[in-house]
Structure 1
Amino acid sequence: MTAVNDFGSEMRYLRQRKGLTIREVGRQVFISYSMISKYENGQLLPKSDIVQRLDDLLDGGGALVGRAREVALSAPGHPSPATGLPTTTRHFVGRNREIGELLKILTPSGALMSEPAGVLVLHGAPGIGKTALAAWVARLLLPRFEHGCQFVDLHGYTEGRAPADPGEVLDRLLRRLGERPEALPADVEELAALFRARTADRELLLILDNVRSTAQIQALLPDGAQCRTLVTSRNFLSALDGVPRLSLRPLEPDDADTLFRLVSSTSDTDGYETADIARIAEYCGRLPLAVRIAAVRCGPDSQLAVSRFAGRLADEYARFRELDDGERSVKAAFEESRKALDATERELFALLGLLPPEIMEVAAVAALSALDLPVAERGLDRLVDAGLLIRVDTEHYVFHDLIGAFARLAARDLAGPHSTAALRGLLDHTVRSCSRADSLVTPGRRRFPPPPTSGPEGQDFEGYDHARDWLAQELPALVALCRTAYEHGFDEYCWMMAFHLRGVFFLGKHWTEWEESHAWALAAARRSGNAVAQAATLNNLGLALVCQGQLDLASDRLTEAADIAGAAGDEDAQCTARSHHAWVMHLRGEHERALAEEAATLAYYQARGRERNAAIVLRDMAAIEIVIGRFDDALGHLTSALDVFRAIPSPLDTAMALNCLAEIHLQRADLVGAWHGFADAFDVASLGTIAFERARAQHGLGRTAAAHHDNTEARRLLKLALSGYTSLSAREEVDHVRADLAALAA
């Protein structure tokens, strides 16, 4: 190594610590990036003025200037060569943030926690690139350590090989440090004491790679104040108290794309392959090991086209067969981690493969596994520690995409009765929880009792806010479970879950999820021959379509619901279909006919003491009456409805009614009454986190301000309404607000 090499290593170290790319450095010092690359690779030494500019830019503090003055390989402080360090990969990309963190912490003068001295754990999933990153950083750090680097693979998860024995590792390290083999003690504790003594005064970087457990490395940690130890492991190594840890995540999308192109020799100009490469990277979960294998499979010596290989990876269960190049296998890497679990943990891992690939809640996992909540949580945390699961927060976990696919493969090995019982326990818990939550979010709705159970009764909720927040947070997983229930033949759970999600769908205007879940629910109800379930599901589907303005399709659904309900003698479902159909008539301009239909449904609900249902009909009648100018009738109906909604209480219904009431004041040019009415609706909607009604109130306030000729305030409020409606994909309302804003600008 020459002084030029020393300079290049120092420059690369400072650049990556600063988090800059070669191109960014070149731009800031007005030099081509190819010249910067030559400086770092030891091909060229820059002139003194450029050295000073680089030192200033990279916060070198004179380090680059000093390196530029070194002229001999034997200069004081020159590092010893690395021992055992694997060859640096030709295609290392990304990880700038992680490199910067590691350089800051592992530099001899860096700030490290003192117990144990100078240790950092780099942990992450199998195949995520821990070893490659450690080797890369070690070479950057070599100039900073007088006595070089020692790298040891402890084979914690090497297929077909037992984890390295600490005594054998100590023996090897001491011989590397110059100890005579015949002078080495046999006892591990004595070897450890000798290693600590020999490293006490050294400036040494120790890399302990592929560690299985804390016990494997406890005796290998040096005590020297200027020693630094980088440990890589799939395991969190929680027994290493008080040490900093860095969790390695998948590559960024651009970095995964670059890695694939470099390894496969695919040109950046091959634009037609860009989408396929992005698909491959995502199928690989952006794990470096998987991306490298995929790239080799698509390399210049392969007859396999990128597009064709992307198609093969689309099949989740064939994916692991494809991510195997004969010498490296993603599945084998994952399997080593699974084998390291105990029997209970392996079973839990396989059970998690029964879940859809959304974020999973601890309570749901407990129901799935028939474990007590604390036991389930400990099991999940163990999987996190093993690098097989990611903790999202205290209540939620998620798989890395590729590990989730591996878990779903493992779930196939579960005995049929076992997986069926596990899913039944999960679905029973979930349906009961949804039913309880929905009864708080939309009280007074018709309820269907869940199937009898001997298991847990589902979650309890403290009130409206708790129930609403739970439904909103868990919604992606709950919708996915509707499909899981359908695919595994749990028809009753499928349609019931969709039914109990209707309230939160309406609250958040989740049209896509509403239609998808109810499509599975309708298929399940038809497959089981349950007429009541079919009518209820069709009514909910019809309502979703009405709200989106798809009136013809909505009418078809509601007519079918009424026919099925009539044949089954389900008067409630018939009345619901009639009420929803009345709204279709209203939107088609048939206001009088709509009012007549609503009056009939109102009589039905009042006769049966169904106060909330009757109040909803009164509110709908008032909305129609406002359109045709019957303000007194509308006011009377809304006043009666509001009394019921407030007594329940039902924040959604209250906010909707208050917005209608304020509209009457605005139509009558009572701007004070309109302003207070919309403000009341806004307050209720905000407290209840009812986004649509909040935006509706802001729209009303903006229109009221415009009528008062306060254009500045009107514009502010209308823009807020536009933002709210846009976030809900409420296209018709967005158009109305834009028209009002345009009128202000005219």
Structure 2
Amino acid sequence: MRDLHDARFVVLGPVRAWLGDTSLRLGPPQQVAVLTALLLREGRPLTVGELIDAVWGQTPPPGVVSVVRSYVSRLRKILEPQRPPGQPSRQVVSVADGYALPLEKGALDLRVFEDRAAEVQRLFAAGELEKALRLLHTTLGAWQGQPLAGVPGPVAEAARTRLIERRLGLLETRFEAELHLGRHREILPELVSLSGEHPLRERLCELRMLALYRSGRQADAFSFFDATRHALKRELGVEPRPSLRELQARLLAADPALAVSPANAGGAVGGIGDHSSKRAASAGPSATSESGRSPQSPPPHTGKTSQAAPSPAAAVPVEQLPAGLRAFTGRQAELDDLDELLSREDRAGTVVISGMAGVGKTTLAVHWARRVADHFPDGQLYVNLRGFDPTAAALEPSAAIRTLIDALGYPSQRVPSGLAAQTALFRSLLAGRRMLILLDNARDTEQVRPLLPAVPGCLTLVTSRNQLGGLIVSDAAQTLTLGILSTEEARAFLAQRLGPARVRAEPEAVDDVVLRCARLPLALAIVAARAAIRPAFPLSAIAAQIRDSQGSLDAFADVDPGSDVRAVFSWSYNVLPPLSARLFHLFALSPAPDMTPATAASLLGLPMRQTRMLLDELAAAHLLTEHAPTRFSCHDLLSSYAGELALEKETAGERESATRRLMDHYLHTTHNATHTLYPLQQEPVDLPDAQPGVVPEQFADELAANRWLEAERGALLAAAESGLEQGRAGHTWQLASQLTRFLDRHGYWSDQVVLQRTGLKAAARAGSREGQALAHRALGFVMGRLGQIDEGRRHLSRAVELFHELDIPLGEARAHRLISFLANRIGEHGKALEHYDRAAALYRGVGDLSGEAYVYNEVGWTHILRGEFDDAITHCWRAVAIHQEIGDPSGEAGALDSLGWAHHHLKQYPQALDCFDQALVLYQPMGDRYLVAEALIHIGDTHVAAENPEKAAESWRAALSILEEFDHPDIAQVSAKLKQLDGA
């Protein structure tokens, strides 16, 4: 079992936790909020009631106490995965009617931050400004974004506000100290940016005005004061505070005290405000810094050190970087991100540029490093760490650091032995220097960390196929993830290599090449090189060669391993652990564009927790991309490579088993989701047993089930299609039958047509007449939705015949109900009532109260269409009563909606709105957004009839917003209502 000391938590950014070096998945937002509330108490207990208030405030959900205890139980499992059953938790401990989370020293970044901030204040008070500033940079550098990002609840919101204010206060203290030391020009860009984000923060305004004034930009200082004054009056209705007005007056009077160094003036920090002046005066900045220089003097760039440096000045390495591309193009956003680093006052730190193989990490790093070399007057260092090299082993840190020390001109005979001593020497040689260091092609964090300067003034760029999360967590490295080129960048890439005229001459061929190369720079470079050495070849011929090899990487092969896409990918694949490697090539067996951890677990036949770690490894290696939370995808060319590996590494039987597990997962999870959504409406279908290793997902409520179906819709449709192609016809027609109601409710009618036609073919191929009946019935209904009544009737009539022959009364009854739906659409209400009578008789014959209640509601709706509103109310109330009796809130809501329409037509508008409101309350927890929208539309209709246009518009806009979420066909109808209302 891991020791309690291994637990570490971060709240100064998105809430995260680790056991040792293992990052933990903390669960849903409310669960994270419970953990956050415990962390913020720093070991002091919270009652269950306090936890409820912390997460939900004044509106807790039903059964909230059980929810809290469930979250605590899950957190204990996450934080103590190896705790034996029955043994008390040492992480989230029970205390009376509540819980506490004991924290070891250094386990919570917030506590470390506060301790360091207190020490910063002590150093300032003691006048040790340089030391205080160094510690303050470290303290602020530990932040990883907005504190408690994404954590819900009032406690997190209050803490977030407090911490943001705390950080701003420290930043202001830092700027004051920097001004005190005469560094107004260095901090001005950051001051301009921060004051722009907080235009009403008067202390920042004072600091910016003084920095502008001292930089010789008096007019800008006066202009900024005027802008701030107007903003304060406009937003808050107040004048600037006295200290800000006083500073403005002193600037206008050209007060000499403002233009000289506070160190020489011996007074407060530029006279900025009462509180800042007093603190600065108490700090009593000394005339010299720790090095003996005046605080205003720039650090000398001699390269000399006080300990290990040789007597002569170290060399200035200026031509260490590789040659850059003559025709570099694109990547403007990434270059802008890198340029922002130069606005920092020390231009120091570490930046990790990561991305998949062949995406152009080194090219970008070298291009930018050469572009900004002048900002680093003490030179540039470069070393290829060979983390992913086809011909040589990765460079050991000891060998790499010797290369760097040699480049600095240090005598080799004086270099100490041992990596720790060499690292210390390297950092001593860089002390006081401003250098750019490029560590290219890194394998992992351990290879890089000893090579980091860890001294002010030096910027380190690291390129790697891995994310190097350890550097981000422990060394406060910034990260830049390099993706594929945009379409426009890819076209420009080809134009640079082949000439604009040749690219303009064949735009369609260029687009085809861009598509086939999947916008990967390495693939584009290979194709461009081939086209360049064959200038007489049309680009369409080059594109055809790639197209002919579709599904393989043969079109991107080359005798040079460094220019062969397959070889370059292999260097990333070959260093994977065995299970991660297997998951990568099995990933290619999925017909879906992406995959969740649960789906991947079934594909691999391993527990989900283990699979999630494997996915994280693949994402860290940039072989997969987590393009959305818990959704992993694979670049097209990497997918082709994975498919080749699957054929090479897996036997036919192993591939078949994996694909069967994947189809079982989709089918059984879909069944669980639809059963959760429609427990009394789904007809029983015998599903095949899931293969060992398949763990279908379960759903706590309708909302979760609906979200899963929505997220996986594309994957499920692709799985159904591939199942037919790959000989799993049974899976295909059953998957189609399970998705029928969901696709209909959400308006995915085009998808429904394609899916059910596929399901019909699959059922015929599998010899399942039941499957054919289900597909005919679904096709008949959707054709009616699309206005193709005759074709719809043909399908529904065939469904009735098949269900009758098979003696499946529930299936036959629903088919009759759908025939009635089509009849009502064309005004044949008498025929509709005939088929409803047949459906009701079938339901009564098998004792299905739910089906009978639905018929009552639909008969009531038919009476509404006939103008027989009293009869409609009678039938709909019977439906409501039965649905309430059997506990079917969905059916009850539908019947209440029909009742509302009956009252609406009788001009009984209060009763109508009451029915619609009751339906809306029942629909909302189900997660079926279309039904919520439908109720809102009806509420708007009734408000219009009752001459309440403002309320009608409010309801219709809310409905339109929902429909636009999934591009429902009813958008046009609701938009027309709103337009007509606006016109009126």
TM range (shorter): 0.7 to 0.9
Cα separation, partners in 2 of 1:557 and 1:294, compared to 1, 3 Å: farther
Once residues 881 and 548 of structure 2 are traced to their aligned partners in structure 1, the CA distance between those partners, rounded to angstroms, is 56
From 369, 379, 402, the equivalent of 1:138 is 369
Q: Which structure exhibits the higher relative contact order, with contacts defined as CA atoms closer than 8 Å and separated by 6 or more residues?
A: 1
Deviation at 1:308, TM superposition (A): 4.8
Other-structure match for 1:128: 359
Aligned partners of 2:583 and 2:604 also within 8 Å: yes
Indicate the SS of the match to 2:637. Answer: helix
Residue aligning to 1:472: 710
Separation of aligned partners in 1, 2:622 and 2:964: 39
177, 182, 193: which one pairs with 2:408?
177
Distance 1:718 1:96 in 2: 43
Residue 403 of structure 1, CA deviation: 2.1
Any conservation in 2 of the 1:558–1:581 contact (CA below 8 Å)? Answer: yes
Q: Is the 8 A contact 1:482 1:497 kept in 2?
A: yes
Q: After superposition, give the CA deviation of every residue in 1:63-103 in whole Å (9 maximum; x if it has no partner).
A: xxxxxxxxxxxxx9799563331222133333333323333
Q: Which runs of 5+ in 1 are unaligned?
A: 1-13, 20-51, 57-75, 113-117
1:137-186 deviations in whole A, cap 9, x for unaligned? 21233112121111112222122332234343333322222134555566
1:61 equivalent in structure 2 = none
Where does residue 412 of structure 1 map in the other structure?
A: 647
Contact 1:692–1:728 (CA under 8 A) maintained in structure 2: no
Distance (Å, rounded) in 1 between the aligned partners of 2:691 and 2:922? 40
Unaligned runs of 5+ in 2: 1-187, 194-218, 224-299, 303-314
Q: Does 1:156 align with 2:391?
A: no
The alignment partner of 1:462 has SS state of coil
For residues 284 and 645 of structure 1, the distance between their equivalents in structure 2, rounded to whole angstroms, comes to 57
Q: Distance in 2 between matches of 1:196 and 1:733?
A: 64
Deviation at 1:604, TM superposition (A): 0.6
User: Relative to structure 1, is the Cα distance of residues 354 and 159 closer, same or farther in structure 2, using a 3 angstrom cutoff?
Assistant: same
Q: Which residue identity is paired with 1:386?
A: A
CA distance, structure 2, for counterparts of residue 662 and residue 511 of structure 1? 27
Give the C-alpha shift of residue 610 in structure 1.
Answer: 1.4
What letter corresponds to residue 787 of structure 2 in structure 1? G
1:628-651, CA deviations, whole angstroms, 9 ceiling, x for partnerless residues? 112122212211222344455545
In structure 2, C-alpha distance between the alignment counterparts of 1:490 and 1:668, rounded to whole Å: 54
Contact conserved, 1:323 with 1:330, CA < 8 A, in 2? yes
Residue deviations 1:454-486 (CA, integer Å, cap 9, x gap): 634522221222222222222222222222322
* Corresponding residue of 2:848: 610
* Structure 2 residue corresponding to 1:168, chosen from 381, 399, 415: 399
Secondary structure in 2 matching 1:151: strand
Q: How much has 1:190 moved relative to structure 2? A: 4.8
Please tell me the root mean square deviation across aligned C-alpha atoms, in Å.
3.3
Q: Distance in 1 between matches of 2:939 and 2:334?
A: 49
Partner in structure 2 of residue 362 of structure 1? 597
Q: Any conservation in 1 of the 2:353–2:463 contact (CA below 8 Å)?
A: yes
Question: Aligned ranges for residues 426-465 of structure 1 at < 5 Å?
Answer: 426-444=662-680, 445-453=682-690, 455=692, 456=694, 458-465=696-703
Q: With the length of structure 2 as denominator, give the TM-score of the two structures.
A: 0.63
1:28-177 maps to which residues of 2 (within 5 A)? 82-105=318-341, 109-110=345-346, 118-177=349-408
Amino acid at match of 1:101: D
Alignment partners' CA distance in 2, 1:645 and 1:284: 57
From 445, 450, 453, the counterpart of 1:219: 450
Q: Does 1:595 align with 2:833?
A: yes
1:390-539 correspondence runs (5 A): 390-392=625-627, 395-413=630-648, 414-444=650-680, 445-453=682-690, 455=692, 456=694, 458-539=696-777
Contact 2:963 2:970 in 1 (8 A): no
CA contact (8 A) 1:368 1:425 kept: yes
Q: What does 1:611-626 align with in structure 2 at a 5 Å threshold?
A: 611-626=849-864
Distance 1:636 1:683 in 2: 22
Cα gap change, 1:594 to 1:123, in 2 (>3 Å): same
Aligned counterpart, 1:286: 519
C-alpha displacement at 1:422, in angstroms?
1.5
Q: 1:156 to 1:599 in 2, by over 3 A?
A: same
Cα offset for 1:275? 5.2
- Cα distance in 2 between the residues matched to 1:101 and 1:449: 56
Matches of 2:613 and 2:488, distance apart in 1: 36
Write the distance in 2 (CA, Å) between the matches of 1:119 and 1:725.
46
- Confirm or deny that 1:639 pairs with 2:877: yes
CA distance in 1, matches of 2:461, 2:974: 60
Following TM superposition, by how much is the alpha carbon of 1:562 offset from its aligned partner in structure 2, in angstroms?
2.9
Instruction: Say if 2:777 is the partner of 1:544.
Output: no
Matched, 1:383 2:621: no
Q: Secondary structure at the match of 2:626?
A: strand
Instruction: Tell me which residue corresponds to 2:485.
Output: 251
- Of the candidates 557, 561, 579, which is equivalent to residue 795 of structure 2? 557
> What amino acid maps onto 1:559 in structure 2?
S
Q: Match for residue 813 of structure 2?
A: 575
Matched, 1:202 2:433: yes
Matches within 5 A, 1:207-356: 207-240=438-471, 241-244=474-477, 245-267=479-501, 270=504, 273-274=506-507, 276-299=509-532, 301-310=534-543, 312-314=545-547, 317-318=550-551, 320-324=553-557, 327=560, 328-356=563-591
Secondary structure, in 3 states, of the residue corresponding to 1:623? helix
Work out the number of aligned pairs and report it.
Answer: 674
Worse-matched range after superposition: 393-402 or 150-159: 393-402
Give the drift of 1:314: 5.0
| Cα separation, 1, equivalents of 2:329 and 2:794 | 56
Contact 2:933 2:962 (8 Å CA) reproduced: yes
| Closer/same/farther in 2, CA of residues 722 and 375 from structure 1, 3 Å limit | closer
Note the C-alpha offset of 1:367: 1.1
Counterpart CA distance in 2 for 1:591 and 1:729 is 31
- Contact 1:150 / 1:207 at 8 angstroms: preserved in 2? yes
Q: Percent identity?
A: 27
Whole-angstrom distance in 1 between the partners of 2:449 and 2:967? 56
Q: Distance in 1 between matches of 2:756 and 2:346?
A: 58
CA deviations on 1:637-675 (whole Å, 9 max, x unpaired) are 211222344455545444433332211111111122222
Kindly indicate whether the alpha-carbon contact (under 8 Å) linking 1:546 and 1:554 is maintained by their aligned counterparts in 2. Answer: yes
Deviation at 1:529, TM superposition (A): 0.8
Structure-1-length-normalised TM-score: 0.82
Q: Which amino acid aligns with 1:375?
A: Q
* Secondary structure, counterpart of 1:412 in structure 2: helix
Alignment partner of 1:122: what SS?
Answer: strand
CA contact (8 A) 1:353 1:411 kept: yes
Separation in structure 2 between the aligned mates of residue 174 and residue 319 of structure 1, nearest angstrom: 45
Q: What is the deviation of 1:342?
A: 2.1
Cα distance between partner residues in 1 of 2:556 and 2:522: 9
CA distance in 2, matches of 1:289, 1:156: 18
Q: Aligned partners of 1:189 and 1:289: how far apart in 2?
A: 38
With 725-734 and 489-498 compared, the bigger mean Cα shift is at 725-734
Q: Contact 2:856–2:876 (CA<8 Å) still a contact in 1?
A: yes
Which whole-Å CA distance do the structure 2 matches of 1:309 and 1:723 have between them? 46
Counterpart of 1:120 in 2: which secondary structure? strand
Check whether the contact 2:781–2:792 (CA below 8 A) recurs between aligned residues.
yes
Contact kept, 8 Å, 1:502 with 1:540, in 2: the verdict is yes
Aligned partners of 2:760 and 2:772 also within 8 Å: yes
Say whether the 8 Å CA contact 1:264–1:300 is kept in structure 2.
Answer: no
